[in-house]
Amino acid sequence: MAEKEFWRWKEYNWHDENIDWHGCDAITAGVDVGSVSSQAVILVDGKLYAFATTRTGSDSPKSAQKAMDWALEDTGMTLDDIHYKVGTGYGRVNVPFADRAITEIACHARGGNFMYGNSVRTILDMGGQDCKAIHCDERGKVTNFLMNDKCAAGTGRGMEVFANLLSVPIEDIGELSFQVEKEPEPVSSTCVVFAKTEASALLRKGWPKNKVIAAYCNAMAHRVVTLLERIGVEKDFAITGGIGKNIGVVRRIEKELGITALKADGDTQTAGALGAALFGKALLEKSRK
């Protein structure tokens, strides 16, 4: 019998059936090939038209193609209809159809500006295998950034490891983390391997799963808050990336910072690809001048 994969998050695609892209002036796309997930976003005249979010495989070009094919599904649009394509993320230089590669730091700032409005100044991108604290201006241009990609603590992959360890579906982790009588002390926040070892010991000691989850969410929140404090947190504050959907971590970050994060109008995991598509639009306009 196949082992259940508790870490497996929802992969899906979407497109706006109310938009007719035929004859539109600017169709741009962004593809974010991350270490854990890949997203493709298509904009039609600067409006969100379609996106797809999927798991990154072992081959970056294939993952980029898969995400893009899925975003294009049922739209009648082909890759050739897209005027400008930008690759971003860890695999950005391996997007075969991209006209340009742009770092995910710049793309998350631009995407966050679109998603949360131009008042956003601090963006925390909690990605699959790294975490970035970004400060940006009113145009979504990066003014300060800091990245931690040396270990998986404070990242989506770390959360996936915990979901599997505890046999809890990853989507349920946030809610379950609040089902504790008293907030436990965080487990190790400097290393996922240490945190996992510590969590195993706590389970053996008789801690309920929810309490262990709360301890890990707490550790993750504490880890990223130290990153944010280095660049200085300024309102308005937003969280992008997959962990932005985990309320167990988000609320604990908010509590530690004393700031409420802005609520997303869209999927936080697509912010990088969205930013890349916005860069594509700007570069397309520049090339036409």
Cβ distance to another protein smaller for residue 87 or 174 = 87
CA atoms within 13 A on the CB side of 192: 19
Please, which residue, 118 or 226, has the CB nearer to another protein?
A: 226
With binding defined as CB under 8 A, does residue 147 bind another protein?
yes
Contact criterion met (CB below 8 Å) for 46 and 82: no
Number of residues lying near another protein (CB under 8 A): 23
Per CB under 8 A, contacts with another protein among 229-248 are 230-231
Q: Does 149 bind another protein (CB under 8 A)?
A: yes
What count of residues does the chain have? 289
Q: For Cα atoms 188, 36, 144, give the angle at the middle one, nearest 5 degrees.
A: 70
Among 119, 179, 190, 287, binds another protein (CB under 8 A): 190
Q: How many angstroms separate the CA atoms of 69 and 40, rounded?
A: 9
In which element (H, E) is residue 235 found?
none
CB of 149 or CB of 265, closer to another protein: 149
Question: Min. distance of Cβ 105 from another protein in angstroms?
Answer: 8
Smallest Cα–Cα separation from 155: which of 107, 93, 216? 216
**Residue of 226, 234, 247, 285 interacting with another protein (CB under 8 A):** 226
Residue 119 vs 190, nearer CB to another protein: 190
CB of 114 to another protein, least distance (A): 16
Q: Is 150 in the site for another protein (CB under 8 A)?
A: yes
Please choose, from the candidates 127, 59, 128, the residue with its C-alpha nearest in 3D space to the C-alpha of residue 94.
59
**Interior angle at CA 271, CA 269 and CA 275, nearest 5:** 155
Nearest distance in Å: CB 151, another protein? 7
**DSSP track, 23-79:** T-S-EEEEEEE-SSEEEEEEEETTEEEEEEEEE--S-HHHHHHHHHHHHHTTT---G
Instruction: Name which of 143 and 260 has its Cβ closer to another protein.
Output: 143
Range 99-138, binding another protein (CB under 8 A): 102-103, 105-106, 135
Query: In whole angstroms, how close is the CB of 166 to another protein at the nearest point?
Result: 24
Query: Per CB under 8 A, which of residues 191..220 are in contact with another protein?
Result: 191
- Residues with Cβ < 8 Å from 229, sequence gap 6 or more? none
Task: List residues binding another protein (CB under 8 A).
Answer: 102-103, 105-106, 135, 141-151, 190-191, 226-227, 230-231, 279
